[in-house]
Amino acid sequence: MQKTDISTPSTIKSLKRRLGVADKTQIRLLLQVSPAQRLQTMLTMQTTILSNWRTRLRRTHPHLNDLELCQMLFERLQQNG
């Protein structure tokens, strides 16, 4: 897996385009939440997303065993960074 250098001007422009304009109100609200709560929220969201991906993969590939499904899930994770 190759790492991307995010300090290059083209990468920074690409990230800004993908993320859009920063919402200052949302940033202020997020800064009021403790780091522990932000981490817990992130882990909960991660679990939900992975579960959804796994469910969709299982639905579209019912013939795969658990190991093959897990491999597909890891491939998808690599694609989405």
DSSP for 39-54?
Answer: HHHHHHHHHHHHHHHH
**How many domains in the chain?**
1
Helices and strands of the chain, counted as H and E runs: 4, 0
Could you tell me the two tokens for 12? Answer: 């920074």
Indicate whether 43 belongs to any domain: yes
E strands, 16-74, where? Answer: none
Tell me how far CA of residue 56 lies from CA of 18, 45, 64, in angstroms.
25, 17, 13
Indicate whether 26 belongs to any domain: no
Indicate whether 63 belongs to any domain: yes
Name the pLDDT band for 8 (thresholds 50, 70, 90). Answer: confident
Q: What is the pLDDT of residue 10?
A: 82
Indicate whether 62 belongs to any domain: yes
pTM assigned to the model: 0.59
Average pLDDT for 4-18: 76
Q: State which amino acid sits at residue 13.
A: K
Which residues span the domain enclosing 54? 34-81
Please give the distance of CA 44 from its chain centroid, rounded to a whole number: 12
The pLDDT > 90 percentage for the chain reads 48
Q: What is the pLDDT of residue 57?
A: 92
Indicate whether 55 belongs to any domain: yes
Average pLDDT for 32-39: 92
